[in-house]
């Protein structure tokens, strides 16, 4: 099956950390720029972070800059989002994706299934 399978969902305390992972199945990530998106309740889905094919360029939304780090391990066909200093406003469903262009929803080629991240005391 050609898909992106996510893991790492959970409940995290404010100030805590969480690492999300996304593994490609049925294709390899080497040829794709990749990204993480999120959708909070009542809000539009937005780009959180993206990285290009050769890791030469990255993007971070202003809201997560300095706290989140995107990475990829092409040998494992996996992408990651390390989230530190989490805030309640980070609560959302997070989606991994392959992208063309850059880091907007309209750039997405394929979506992961999404994983709930809840930041709360």
Contact 40, 91 (CB under 8 A): yes
Structure tokens at 53: 């094919």
Q: What is the pLDDT of residues 69-119, one digit of tens each?
A: 999 998 999 999 999 999 999 999 999 999 998 899 999 999 999 999 999
Q: What is the pLDDT at residue 2?
A: 87
Report the distance separating Cα 72 and Cα 14, nearest Å. 26
State the Cα–Cα distance between residues 34 and 72, nearest whole angstrom. Answer: 8
Number of helices followed by number of strands (H, E) in the chain: 0, 11
For the stretch 41-58, pLDDT in tens is: 999 999 999 999 876 799
């Amino acid at each position: 099956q050609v898909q992106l399978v996510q893991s790492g969902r959970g409940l995290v305390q404010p100030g805590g950390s969480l690492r999300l992972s996304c593994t490609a199945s049925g294709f390899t990530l080497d040829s794709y720029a990749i990204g993480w998106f999120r959708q909070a309740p009542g809000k539009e889905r937005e780009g959180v972070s993206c990285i290009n094919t050769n890791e030469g360029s990255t993007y971070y939304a202003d809201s997560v800059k300095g706290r989140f780090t995107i990475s990829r391990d092409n040998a494992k066909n996996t992408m990651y989002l390390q989230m530190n200093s989490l805030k309640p406003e980070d609560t959302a469903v997070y989606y991994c994706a392959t992208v063309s262009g850059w880091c907007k929803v309209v750039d997405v080629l394929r979506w992961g299934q999404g994983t709930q991240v809840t930041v709360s005391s």
